[in-house]
Amino acid sequence: MFLRNFWYVAGWDGEIGRTPVARTICNENIVLYRRADRSLVALEDSCPHRLLPLSQGYVEGDRLVCGYHGLEFDGDGACVHMPNQQSIHPEACVQAYPVVEKDRFVWVWIGDKEKADEALVPEIPHASEAGWVFDGGTYDVKCGYELLVDNLMDLSHETYVHPSSIGQLEITESLPQTRSDDESVTVERWMENIVPPPFWANNLKSKEVCDRWQICTFTLPSNVMIDVGVALAGTGAQQGDRSKGVTGIVVNCMTPETETTCRYYWGMVRNFDIDDNGLTQNIKDAQAKVFYEDLEVVEGQQANMLRHPERKLLNFNIDAGGVRARRLIDRALAAAAE
Amino acid sequence: MFLRNFWYVAGWDGEIGRTPVARTICNENIVLYRRADRSLVALEDSCPHRLLPLSQGYVEGDRLVCGYHGLEFDGDGACVHMPNQQSIHPEACVQAYPVVEKDRFVWVWIGDKEKADEALVPEIPHASEAGWVFDGGTYDVKCGYELLVDNLMDLSHETYVHPSSIGQLEITESLPQTRSDDESVTVERWMENIVPPPFWANNLKSKEVCDRWQICTFTLPSNVMIDVGVALAGTGAQQGDRSKGVTGIVVNCMTPETETTCRYYWGMVRNFDIDDNGLTQNIKDAQAKVFYEDLEVVEGQQANMLRHPERKLLNFNIDAGGVRARRLIDRALAAAAE
Amino acid sequence: MFLRNFWYVAGWDGEIGRTPVARTICNENIVLYRRADRSLVALEDSCPHRLLPLSQGYVEGDRLVCGYHGLEFDGDGACVHMPNQQSIHPEACVQAYPVVEKDRFVWVWIGDKEKADEALVPEIPHASEAGWVFDGGTYDVKCGYELLVDNLMDLSHETYVHPSSIGQLEITESLPQTRSDDESVTVERWMENIVPPPFWANNLKSKEVCDRWQICTFTLPSNVMIDVGVALAGTGAQQGDRSKGVTGIVVNCMTPETETTCRYYWGMVRNFDIDDNGLTQNIKDAQAKVFYEDLEVVEGQQANMLRHPERKLLNFNIDAGGVRARRLIDRALAAAAE
């Protein structure tokens, strides 16, 4: 079961162009492309005639042409040309999905079309603000998206899963605060007077003692934004003054494909050295390495759960964020089922 | 469900020799080999003793020897030697399949043995006639054979699937005639006064305006012969005088393996430059390329249909040939079920 | 269904060390490692917290640390440290398996823990005796272990499966004697006055006529020890005097993984040229080649049986050993089910 009536990431802005691209989102097969004016189209990925995936066709002008018999569809999914047919068969149309581009992502609406509201597109904080830069990557992951939500809402795992990069013992030692409302869950952790790990020391351009924060926010359906950073110790970051620090948002959008697979879009929005493309690439490479370590964990969990469906997850203190996030998901699913 | 009491292609003549070869035909596992005198044998591919596939054994004289314990079977499937056993176990025999060689193919009879009649072997037109030459290749295809029948009975797809080789817009523009009787379906298309595509211009050794024809004939269980060619425009080809043209038969025999896979034997019989082995190879290479494009289409359809079994094919004008072919298949299946 | 309350081979002694190793035995997922003092630990391979396989973690001191959140387990499966938790959750423990090291193998007890008795570990004859040496290898095999038991209890297959190495026609020609009791089945074959095959001629350092023996003994749950050798003809080997011969034990321990896969541990214990490491390696290489030929046979059988579950094995004279071994297995399964 998937949460409907939400916007899901279908790709990075640069991934969708004039060549049709296939995506599976919440078990729906979708083809995406851009019109000549770069506006986006998302259609059901199946020609109504002989069921060839339309993603095996090509784009001509603003239309998607089926690769089998040349049926042409416009961006609304209507068949507008049928070679060798005098009249167009009324059933020969495909479902069109609301699709928007925002904050470097292409978003597709899964649910009732009339409820699609661009104002509901999840916010990637600062992603489109001047003075900030945003880049990242993608992984196809063989697990249900919920396991990645758990992972991101409990960063105490960093000490064990990422010991050589971002993990440090202080993460495990400092208890986070968890709070939630009807739409989001936040886990906030402050580590005071710590030696910054190499990544942050480099970016702060200082090895002095720091305060470090990790503020993870889950919002429905499946997104986790993590406000991270360090500031020189005692300069008031926790009280709101980050002027003596560097900060970024670790972006995590998990788009469900099937019950046991998802497509994981990750990246970082930052406000330091934003014109340093080498740094942008370095951060992306480092994130790719870190998230690959997570991928091995969550795929290991999923494989175990598939082998032993009778086994249940146990919840400890550290899982509070994930537990509340899953509770939000379950409530939304239950509400949708009514 | 498969059509029984038909001959199916089990291989090219040169594929079956003194080394046992395994084939799956209509879900039956069969092993083929030749006796010392080159005559053919087709047996159930399973030793009755410990169930090793007999295709993992070897041929000695006229017998197939099991690779596990040396049981020997003759071409009728009788066990004629059992090392270390004093008497031969009465159950130790395997089913033998009627098998014949004709028109460069090895054909196996699937159905009631007593109904096997060599006169019923489908005809590959001209394949064994003097003045003609026949060669081709094979693809294992991940789709039910019916999707390939559809494909071959509607050549309007050539414009879109094979634009760089045999496709030309005139194919889509000229409506074909469809006719059928109890045993066959024919789709006949004539394109008059057209510029011949490169393949035909080369073989006609002329770039003059031509009449081009494509006459597709489906016969049960799963074969489509396509009479193709061009003649100088207005020289009476449509009335039967092909003396100013070149012609060939595109051979398509689709042998069902399972409900969703088949083995596709394709080739061309031609009556021009028949001693030019380089041309024979060139045609084979070109056909391999063209049919590989079809393979991507039909496998795309099949994958979509497996993901969404609720989706149904729509039939347009252009599908008339395939629709009638499937009707023949369905009638034959229904008759067999009575 | 698997035989419980038996010791199964989980690995060669050198395979299990300070890095956790995952094994599936009788459908149970198990992780093995050694403590600092080299003593062995076998635990359920699943962290009770978030179900990450513990084999994805690491060993620290005597403890296994989960690779996700750092939970630490001792060799009894008790959770002895939980970062960030004040009290240890009572459910946070894993099953520990009795595990012993004997005769170069690591053995795990599958069944009721209180019944685990080291005295019940199957004996590998001579493996730990002075004057003998034992080495071998492992194959993962896509078949139920029973097919390998059949294979090893009827060496008449050597003539057909291993014609280029250990097979010789005399094996098929000499009928073996089969005897059994409640715990074992033995198939004994003597070939008198034969020319020894190359392997034995080399090791006997003589090409003279020999007596050759193969004495296969199956014991529950799934082990077959084969006493093999040759002695100069008529020197009394069959009466017990092997002083004019060379001898070895072909060791075969098949550990069930699932109903249709197993892990096959094979090797040879010998008492000739025991310090010749080159010979040890040569024998291992030769066995690897021979057992790979068997692997193709048993996997071919299993695939055929999965395609055609209605097909039943036939039993001939030569199968007497395997038939009785399976009868022992079936009786033990029936007794366990009571």
Tens digit of pLDDT for each residue in B3-42?
999 999 999 999 999 999 999 999 999 999 999 999 999 9
Query: How close does chain B come to A120, measured CA to CA in Å?
Result: 30
Q: Are residues C35 and C116 in the same domain?
A: yes
Q: Are residues B94 and B184 in the same domain?
A: no
The pLDDT value recorded for residue A266 is 98
Q: Are residues B95 and B138 in the same domain?
A: no
**B125 domain residue, yes or no:** no
Q: Are residues A113 and A158 in the same domain?
A: no
Q: What is the CATH number of the domain that holds B141?
A: 3.90.380.10
Closest Cα to residue B216, out of B302, B160, B157? Answer: B157
The pLDDT value recorded for residue A59 is 98
Q: A21, A11 in Cβ contact below 8 A? A: yes
Query: How close does chain B come to A4, measured CA to CA in Å?
Result: 19
Rounded mean pLDDT, A161-168: 77
Closest chain B residue to A24 measured between Cα atoms?
Answer: B307
The pLDDT value recorded for residue A125 is 96
| Model confidence pLDDT, tens digit, residues B305-320 | 999 999 999 998 889 9
Closest chain B residue to A30 measured between Cα atoms?
Answer: B304
- Find the CB nearest A46 among B157, B172, B304: B304
Q: Are residues A174 and A105 in the same domain?
A: no
Instruction: Name all chains with 3 or more CB-CB pairs below 8 Å to chain A.
Output: B, C
The pLDDT value recorded for residue B174 is 78
Q: Are residues B223 and B308 in the same domain?
A: yes
**B170 domain residue, yes or no:** yes
Residues in A touching B303 (Cβ below 8 Å): 53
Query: Across the interface, do B89 and C156 touch by the CB < 8 Å criterion?
Result: no
State the number of CA atoms in the 13 A half-sphere of A143 facing the CB.
24
Residues in B touching A67 (Cβ below 8 Å): 160-161, 297
The pLDDT value recorded for residue B84 is 74
Q: What is the CATH number of the domain that holds B24?
A: 2.102.10.10
Q: B111, B5 in Cβ contact below 8 A? A: yes
Q: Are residues C140 and C23 in the same domain?
A: no
List C-alpha distances in Å: B233 to B167, B191, B209, B273, C303. 19, 10, 6, 22, 58
Integer Cα distance of B35 and B96 in angstroms = 14
Using an 8 Å CB-CB cutoff, list residues of chain B that contact chain A.
150, 154, 156-157, 159-161, 172-173, 175, 296-297, 300-301, 303-305, 307-308, 311, 313-314, 316-319
The tokens 């979509």 sit on which residue? B304
Closest Cα to residue A240, out of A298, A190, A299, A286? Answer: A190
**A287 vs A174 pLDDT, higher one:** A287
| Model confidence pLDDT, tens digit, residues C251-310 | 999 999 999 999 999 999 999 999 999 999 999 999 999 999 999 999 999 999 999 999
Query: Across the interface, do A46 and B300 touch by the CB < 8 Å criterion?
Result: no
The pLDDT value recorded for residue C163 is 81
Residues in C touching A295 (Cβ below 8 Å): none
Integer Cα distance of A64 and C250 in angstroms = 66
Query: Across the interface, do A68 and B318 touch by the CB < 8 Å criterion?
Result: no
Integer Cα distance of C161 and C171 in angstroms = 12
**B165 domain residue, yes or no:** yes
Provide the pairing of β-strand A28-34 with A177-180.
Answer: unpaired
Closest chain C residue to B51 measured between Cα atoms?
Answer: C301
User: Which one of B24, B50, B55, B85 makes the best mutation probe of the C interface by having the most chain C beta carbons within 10 Å?
Assistant: B50
**B168 domain residue, yes or no:** yes
Q: How would DSSP label each residue in B270-313?
A: E-SSTT-HHHHHHHHHHHHHHHHHHHHHHHHHHHHHHH-TT---
The pLDDT value recorded for residue A334 is 95
pLDDT tens string, chain C, 338 residues long: the values are: 899 999 999 999 999 999 999 999 999 999 999 999 999 999 999 999 999 999 999 999 999 999 999 999 999 999 999 887 778 888 889 999 999 999 999 999 999 999 999 999 999 999 999 999 999 999 999 999 999 999 999 988 988 988 877 766 777 777 899 999 998 999 999 999 999 888 888 889 988 999 999 999 999 999 999 999 999 999 999 999 999 999 999 999 999 999 999 999 999 999 999 999 999 999 999 999 999 999 999 999 999 999 999 999 999 888 999 999 999 999 999 999 88
| Model confidence pLDDT, tens digit, residues A239-296 | 999 999 999 999 999 999 999 999 999 999 999 999 999 999 999 999 999 999 999 9
User: Which one of B316, B317, B323 makes the best mutation probe of the A interface by having the most chain A beta carbons within 10 Å?
Assistant: B316
Integer Cα distance of C199 and C284 in angstroms = 12
Residues in C touching B53 (Cβ below 8 Å): 300, 303-304
Tell me, what's the ipTM?
0.90
Q: Are residues C105 and C237 in the same domain?
A: no
Last-in-domain residue among B74, B95, B120 = B120
| Model confidence pLDDT, tens digit, residues A177-212 | 999 999 899 999 999 999 988 888 888 998 899 999
Using an 8 Å CB-CB cutoff, list residues of chain C that contact chain A.
29, 45-46, 48-53, 56, 65-70, 82-85, 89, 91-92
pLDDT tens string, chain B, 338 residues long: the values are: 899 999 999 999 999 999 999 999 999 999 999 999 999 999 999 999 999 999 999 999 999 999 999 999 999 999 999 887 778 888 889 999 999 999 999 999 999 999 999 999 999 999 999 999 999 999 999 999 999 999 999 988 988 988 877 766 777 777 899 999 998 999 999 999 999 888 888 889 988 999 999 999 999 999 999 999 999 999 999 999 999 999 999 999 999 999 999 999 999 999 999 999 999 999 999 999 999 999 999 999 999 999 999 999 999 888 999 999 999 999 999 999 88
Q: Does the pLDDT value for residue A159 go beyond 80?
A: yes
User: Which one of C159, C173, C301, C326 makes the best mutation probe of the B interface by having the most chain B beta carbons within 10 Å?
Assistant: C301
Query: Across the interface, do B48 and C305 touch by the CB < 8 Å criterion?
Result: no
Closest Cα to residue C13, out of C115, C140, C136, C145? Answer: C136
**A221 domain residue, yes or no:** yes
- Find the CB nearest C297 among B68, B82, B85: B68
Query: Across the interface, do A160 and C91 touch by the CB < 8 Å criterion?
Result: no
Instruction: Name all chains with 3 or more CB-CB pairs below 8 Å to chain B.
Output: A, C
Integer Cα distance of B143 and B154 in angstroms = 17
Integer Cα distance of B142 and B304 in angstroms = 12
Q: Are residues B304 and B279 in the same domain?
A: yes
Using an 8 Å CB-CB cutoff, list residues of chain A that contact chain B.
29, 45-46, 48-53, 56, 65-70, 82-85, 89, 91-92
Closest chain B residue to A54 measured between Cα atoms?
Answer: B300
- Find the CB nearest B89 among C172, C304, C314: C314
Residue A62's pLDDT band (boundaries 50, 70, 90)?
very high
**C127 domain residue, yes or no:** no
The pLDDT value recorded for residue B30 is 98
Query: How close does chain A come to C225, measured CA to CA in Å?
Result: 33
Residues in C touching A319 (Cβ below 8 Å): 50
pLDDT cut 90: percent of chain A above it:
84
Q: Are residues C155 and C114 in the same domain?
A: no
Query: How close does chain B come to A215, measured CA to CA in Å?
Result: 40
Query: Across the interface, do B69 and C313 touch by the CB < 8 Å criterion?
Result: no
| Model confidence pLDDT, tens digit, residues C312-330 | 999 988 899 999 999 999 9
**A150 domain residue, yes or no:** yes
Q: Are residues A191 and A260 in the same domain?
A: yes
| Model confidence pLDDT, tens digit, residues B165-175 | 776 677 777 78
The tokens 């009807």 sit on which residue? A182
Closest chain A residue to B294 measured between Cα atoms?
Answer: A68
Query: How close does chain C come to A97, measured CA to CA in Å?
Result: 36
Domain that holds residue B167: 133-337
Query: How close does chain B come to C146, measured CA to CA in Å?
Result: 12
Q: Are residues B285 and B153 in the same domain?
A: yes
Residues in A touching C82 (Cβ below 8 Å): 316
Last-in-domain residue among C67, C94, C120 = C120
CA angle (B55, B61, B67) in 5-degree steps: 30
- Interface size B-C, in CB pairs within 8 Å, comes to 70
**C128 domain residue, yes or no:** no
Query: Across the interface, do A300 and C52 touch by the CB < 8 Å criterion?
Result: yes
State the number of CA atoms in the 13 A half-sphere of A304 facing the CB.
27
User: Which one of C148, C175, C318, C323 makes the best mutation probe of the B interface by having the most chain B beta carbons within 10 Å?
Assistant: C318
The SS3 of residue C180 is strand
The pLDDT value recorded for residue C277 is 95
The SS3 of residue B187 is strand
Using an 8 Å CB-CB cutoff, list residues of chain B that contact chain C.
29, 45-46, 48-53, 56, 65-70, 82-86, 89, 91-92
The pLDDT value recorded for residue B317 is 86
Last-in-domain residue among A86, A120, A154 = A120
- Interface size A-B, in CB pairs within 8 Å, comes to 69
Closest chain C residue to A317 measured between Cα atoms?
Answer: C85
Counted domains in chain A? 2
Query: How close does chain A come to B314, measured CA to CA in Å?
Result: 5
- Find the CB nearest C91 among A296, A314, A317: A314
Using an 8 Å CB-CB cutoff, list residues of chain C that contact chain B.
150, 154, 156-157, 159-161, 172-173, 175, 296-297, 300-301, 303-305, 307-308, 311, 313-314, 316-319
